[in-house]
Amino acid sequence: MKKILFVCLGNICRSPTADGVLRKLVADSGLEKRMLIDSAGTGDWHIGRAPDSRTIKAAARRGYDLSVLRARLVTQDDFDEFDYILAMDKSNLAHLQKMKPAHFAGHLGLFMDFAPHMGYSEVPDPYHGDEDDFERVLDLVEEAAQHLLKKIV
Ligand code: 4NP
């Protein structure tokens, strides 16, 4: 069983998208029993809320249902639970590196490192952007999720 946690700032746009996209890839590959997937945020503004409506709509157009997800904060316990903790940008990663306990033996890094050919080291924050920014999140996340799955399985 591999456990993967995606982390962004608000846990309402990028990391829930990664969560939903990888969940569907895993389900379509019949690997549900071998992978546990979750997402969390480094900021606390949206705790308990569903993903941003623009995120839900953009994902739904590509066949992903994010409506059941609820935002939560990343916690110290996550370092005991998860094997892969993947940050959407360098600011999230810096936050996680400060939290990381010395005994954490898993992989902490940037999600886009799994798809370097895309030319993005970070998934840009779409929160103050337009529809194209939300589409770009999906483009990047779909590609990185596929390569992550290939690498892990
Ligand atoms: P996310 O996007 O980190 O991809 O969920 C954001 C959502 C909300 C805020 C920032 C980024 N915010 O400042 O409220």
Q: Which two tokens stand for residue 145?
A: 């999720």
Assess whether the C-beta atom of 50 lies below 6 angstroms from ligand 1: no
pTM of this structure: 0.98
pLDDT tens per residue across span 36-74: 999 999 999 999 999 999 999 999 999 999 999 999 999
Cβ-contact 17, 88 below 8 angstroms: no
pLDDT tens per residue across span 108-145: 999 999 999 999 999 999 999 999 999 999 999 999 99
Assess whether the C-beta atom of 13 lies below 6 angstroms from ligand 1: yes
Do strands 2-8 and 35-41 pair parallel, antiparallel, or not at all (unpaired)? parallel
- Centre of ligand 1 from the C-alpha of residue 12, in Å: 6
C-alpha span between 136 and 120 (Å, rounded): 11
Cβ-contact 104, 79 below 8 angstroms: yes
C-alpha span between 21 and 53 (Å, rounded): 16
